[in-house]
């Protein structure tokens, strides 16, 4: 006697089926179904509508469009829309979307698309316009995984602009983190000159930016100012951008190059105040050893995360074969000789330099006991960073950045950054942060924070301010 028939739900529809025996096997010939739809894509056979985009015409099928897109469903399925009754519909698309519209349409039939850094944004614009959720999700995922590219293929700035406008929070935050940590890559990307004034102002206002030097930064900002698409607004751009260039942190030899440029000669009055302050501060620094007397006259602008050694804020480190190192041997120690006052030429270490000892525990925190040999005492798996000021000095506001490199598509880049800040005092001379990065993310085989199995990174220690007023500020 056969098994009683039961109703079972299959893909949203109810069918009368027998309970399947244990030997059953579900066959899913999805490729066959896709191949059938691919055969009728852009073919007049059974086509009941034509889509016109610019000079191109595409044969389409209403049932495919309506089931793939809620926008097409409303446009073609609701009588109040004139397109619902027309055999040919003209669609107005953005210029960058027209060349790939046929591929977008094919995706609605076959679910297949080839994405590149150049075409993913036009695909996303179409997917968003026509409410194709699956393709939106695919494009956003592609962007998040391809933020790291060589400068010629990098589109992070353009993607960041899109994410800002459309409130794509995850994409925006990932793009911004990459931009600020890899500004040397971004400044040479193909879309650098298409930054808006507001975006440029936002980036230049940031002290967490990682860049070789302020002089190098100015060179690329000048390129942006002189770009063909910005030249009409050059005076307004200069008025908003020049106050954010930290000319007191550009050596005099580089300042003279600024003065020789055509941009300076044509807009000299806009430059004068900033350059005069910079030259005056450099002169005072060379003549006066006491920075406390200089700062009230001409304040030094805040350090960025400069990788040029002239600034004395950048300290690289490497832990070879990270995964193979014992925990007790994994601690990274960096002694930093930092200066509050930028000196435009390298000089020998002086008594005015402030010594910080940085202890980084990338395999988890531990302390050691020295008996017959070193033994780990208290320990945890929390990745920890400690920064200790070695002498009891006046209060200092210090910014610290830990940067870890990764490597992708042959490009070495800043894959992770952690920024922290503290006012060091005689009573409180240690900054300690933990749990800012999981141990699992470093230990996994394909960790994005390793370069050829090595842990490589930079420590930035920047004295941004000093004096007893910092105590009053913290109390207030």
pLDDT in tens, the chain (476 residues): 444 444 445 454 445 555 667 788 888 888 888 888 888 889 998 899 999 999 999 999 999 999 999 999 999 988 778 777 888 999 999 999 999 999 999 999 999 999 999 999 999 999 999 999 999 999 999 999 888 887 777 889 999 999 999 999 999 999 999 999 999 989 998 899 999 999 999 999 999 999 999 999 999 999 999 999 999 999 999 999 999 999 999 999 999 999 999 999 999 999 999 999 999 888 887 766 655 555 555 678 999 999 999 999 999 999 999 999 999 899 999 999 988 888 766 554 556 689 999 999 999 998 877 655 556 677 899 999 999 999 888 899 999 999 999 998 788 999 999 999 999 999 999 999 999 999 999 999 889 999 999 999 999 999 999 888 888 765 55
Q: Does residue 326 sit within a domain?
A: yes
Q: Does residue 236 sit within a domain?
A: no
Q: Which of the listed residues 63, 97, 112 is the one where a domain comes to its end?
A: 112
**Overall domain count for the chain:** 2
Q: Which of the listed residues 112, 127, 142 is the one where a domain comes to its end?
A: 112
In SS3 terms, the chain reads as: CCCCEEEEEECCEEEEEECCCCCCCCCCCHHHHHHHHHHHCCCCCCCCEEEEECCEEEEECHHHHHHHCHHHHHHHHCCCCHHHHCCEEEECCCCCCHHHHHHHHHHHHHCCCCCCCCCHHHHHHHHHHCCCHHHHHHHHHHHHHCCCCCCCCCCHHHHHHHHHHHCCHHHHHHHHHHHHHCHHHHCCCCCHHHCCHHHHHHHHCCCCCEECCHHHHHHHHHHHHCCCCCHHHHHHHHHHHHHHCCHHHCCHHHHHHHHHCHHHHHCHHHHHHHHHHHHHHHHHHHHCCCHHHHCCCCCCCCCCEECCHHHCCEEEEEECCHHHCCHHHCCEEEEEEECCCCCCCCCCCCCCCEEEEEEEECCCCEEEEECCCEEEEEECCCCEEEEEECCCCCCEEEEEEEEEEEEECCEEEEEEEEEEEEEECCCCCEEEEECCCCHHHHHCCCCCCCECCEEEEEEEEEEEEECCHHHHHHHC
Q: Does residue 141 sit within a domain?
A: no
Q: Does residue 197 sit within a domain?
A: no
Q: Does residue 285 sit within a domain?
A: no
Question: Residue 64 maps to which CATH number?
Answer: 3.30.710.10
Q: Does residue 431 sit within a domain?
A: yes
Range of the structural domain that residue 40 is part of: 26-112
Question: Residue 463 maps to which CATH number?
Answer: 2.60.210.10
Q: Does residue 220 sit within a domain?
A: no
Q: Which of the listed residues 69, 87, 112 is the one where a domain comes to its end?
A: 112
Provide the whole-model pTM.
Answer: 0.82
Q: Does residue 80 sit within a domain?
A: yes
């Amino acid at each position: 006697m056969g098994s009683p028939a039961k109703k079972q739900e299959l893909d949203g529809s109810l069918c009368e089926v027998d309970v399947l025996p244990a030997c059953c096997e579900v066959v899913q010939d999805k490729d066959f179904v896709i191949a059938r739809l691919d055969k009728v894509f852009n073919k007049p056979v059974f086509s009941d509508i034509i889509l016109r985009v610019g000079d191109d015409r595409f044969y389409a099928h209403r049932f495919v469009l309506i089931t793939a897109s809620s926008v097409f469903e409303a446009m073609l399925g609701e009588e109040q829309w004139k397109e619902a009754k027309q055999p040919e519909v003209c669609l107005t698309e953005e210029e960058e979307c027209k060349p790939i519209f046929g591929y977008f349409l094919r995706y609605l039939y076959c679910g297949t698309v080839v994405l590149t850094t150049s075409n993913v944004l036009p695909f996303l614009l179409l997917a968003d316009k026509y409410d194709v959720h699956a393709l939106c999700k695919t494009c956003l995922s592609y962007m998040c995984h391809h933020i790291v590219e060589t400068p010629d293929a990098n589109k992070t700035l353009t993607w960041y602009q899109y994410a800002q406008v459309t409130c794509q929070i995850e994409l925006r935050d990932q793009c911004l983190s990459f931009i600020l940590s890899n500004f040397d890559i971004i400044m040479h990307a193909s879309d650098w000159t298409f930054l808006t004034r507001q975006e440029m102002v936002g980036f230049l206002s940031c002290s967490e930016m990682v860049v070789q030097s302020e002089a190098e930064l100015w060179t690329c900002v000048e390129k942006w100012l002189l770009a063909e698409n910005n030249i009409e607004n050059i005076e307004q751009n200069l008025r908003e951008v020049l106050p954010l260039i930290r000319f007191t942190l550009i050596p005099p030899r580089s300042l003279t190059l600024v003065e020789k440029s055509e941009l300076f000669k044509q807009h000299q009055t806009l430059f004068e105040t900033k350059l005069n302050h910079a030259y005056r501060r450099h002169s005072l620094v060379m003549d006066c050893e006491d920075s406390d007397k200089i700062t009230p006259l001409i304040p030094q602008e805040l350090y960025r995360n400069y990788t040029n050694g002239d600034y004395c804020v950048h300290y690289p480190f490497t832990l070879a074969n990270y995964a193979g190192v014992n925990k007790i041997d994994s601690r990274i120690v960096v002694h930093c000789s930092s200066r509050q006052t930028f000196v435009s030429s390298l000089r020998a270490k002086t008594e005015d330099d402030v010594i910080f000892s940085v202890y980084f525990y990338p395999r988890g925190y531990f302390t050691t006991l020295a008996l017959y040999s070193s033994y780990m005492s208290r320990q945890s798996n929390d990745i920890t960073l400690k920064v200790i000021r070695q002498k009891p000095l006046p209060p200092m506001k210090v910014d610290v950045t830990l940067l870890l490199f990764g490597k992708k598509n042959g490009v070495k880049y800043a894959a992770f950054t952690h920024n922290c800040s503290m006012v060091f005092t005689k009573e409180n001379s240690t900054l300690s942060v933990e749990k800012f990065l999981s141990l699992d993310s470093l230990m996994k085989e394909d960790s994005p924070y390793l370069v050829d199995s090595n842990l490589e990174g930079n420590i930035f220690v920047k004295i941004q301010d000093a004096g007893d007023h910092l105590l009053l500020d913290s109390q207030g």
